[in-house]
Structure 1
Amino acid sequence: MGGQAHHVVVLALENVLALDIGIPLQVFGSWPGGPYSLTVCTERPGTLAMHSGPALSVADGLDSLARADTVIVPGYLEPDAPSAAVTAALAAASAQGSRMVSICTGAFALAAAGLLDGRRATTHWLYAAALAKQYPRVQVRPKELYVDEGQVLTSGGVSAGMDLCLHLIRRDHGAQPANQRARLLVTAPHRTGGQAQFIDLPVLPAQSDGLTHLYAWALRNLHQPLTIDQLARQAGLSRRTLIRRFHADTGMPPMRWLLDARLALARELLETSDLTVEAVARRCGLGTPANLRTLFRTHVGVPPSVYRDTFASLPPTAGTGVTPVSAATTR
């Protein structure tokens, strides 16, 4: 980059999310004497609607993308494909060598421009399935805070954009400037885990092919070592029919559904009770504390202790209060 400031261009689309656009403006634009210069542009310069905030006045148009070293697309409401002019400008910026970055649902704009084809990418976990469905050539990774594919980088929901912007500084200039910037912004320079710890785990399917009573029975008996044969007997179905019906309802095999249900209950207990990890593992049917820790790291991204520190709603006490097992049915 030499002595010239690295030019960051933020592309604000209609109904851009207030916090999402604020992140790159704060990280790169409020750095007097810093190594970055910043421009905000939009498709039609003038007044731009911003979701959850006042209207923006944006003077620069899409031609600014041609002068960008890095292009950042913040998230926007109802992430449909942007106009042909926007996707063409994004594709042209990428072709000329600009680094392409998205925050939250901004990934949909990069995907529409074909910039995520064959690449790993992430977005807000709530929209990950929609991104995968609309753009099947994208390798969607909903559990990641951000994904760095070299010249194309994507981040998860909202505050994950801060993680990615600090990562860009760390990549460009090393850990010290990134850490200093993080201190000024009063945020962690690097967060443990990924989006998985924030994803709501839906236990009960929205629709059921006659298995509603089986799901309720299983959720009441998560502390037991349930098997497919037990589930089949409880439902009065053959093993093969049960597996087929589970796939139709939940999109997954019975044992994976049970694992998600156990993890949902474990998260609930860690958030709302002071039970020990051993007691949580036993209550959820996950066996030993070691097994719970392993599964938590694999599927949630952090150890149970870190999850509890982050989300616990009760201060540590000597009591043994616990949310009823039925609470898992609301997750």
Structure 2
Amino acid sequence: MDWLGKCLVSSDKSGLELAGDMFKGMFVGAAAGAAGAWAGGAVAGSITAGGFINGSLSGLAGGFGGGFVGCSGNAWLSGAGFGAGLKAGFVGGALSAAFSGLSGGLIRGFTDMAKGDSFWDGRTTSEFVIGNSIEKTDYKAMGDNYNDSFIAELNDESLKTRIQGEYSIKEGDLGIEKITTRTGERYGMTTKESYVNLKNGHEVAGYADLSSTGRSSKIHISPKYANALDVADFRAVAGHELIHAYHQYTFAGAFVRASSESVAYRYSANIYLRASQPVKAFQWMQNAVNQRFFWHSSSYEIPNIYRFR
């Protein structure tokens, strides 16, 4: 006799009663799993941050939902009163939420970190580096002063208008939540109004702040390039960072930075070639080659619907 037959014979309950309990348990388990998956997925889908924050919050929600339904359901099926069932559900949900929140946060955090993103929020930046700054200036103070100025407001509005005119892209498109000339975190500003990475001293024309969820990005273009009289300088930097935002939005967790950089650098070089500036074109292609950003799959090509030119 197989194991199921032995269980039915040896149980204190009749075979039909035991089978009924088994099916009830299966139903509760399925309902708990569905509730946990729905709650966790709903929370994960509403959070723009990735990393530990995303994993822990979605884990908390999924763990509580599954634990509450499972524990309260089993308690009621065992004959517990309504209040006792609710209490069992809250206790079980809390314990499950604590475990799932911690484990989910660690898993998502380390997964994003392995891809080069932040452990805590899954963010990364892609910079358009133009050299190393050697000014004897308090870059952070310069940046803070600029960020609080009225001219920053004017430059931001001018940049948004210029990007929409050149590329038909505005805030809200492609998951872009902000287009700005302000420095942002970890950056200062030179007297030439380009950015400086405060950690490594790189002079930066612009950068894209990207989320591993693909639902949030911020485009920072330094005032020097946002207001560039040479349209090639503006397009080479602004289009470069918009390409990263498009790729992160399109591929999200499957985003491959090397492929995105390959497309973006080729775009910038082509802009300078068309503007009869071969020295700058060679410079950016040399940068790409030095960083091994020289190949990308065809899926990373930009559709013609976007006006990158």
TM-score by length of 2: 0.28
- Give the TM-score normalised by the residue count of structure 1: 0.26
Richer in helix (by share)? 2
Asked which structure has the greater RCO (Cα within 8 Å, sep 6+), the reply is 2
Larger Rg, first or second structure (1 or 2) = 2
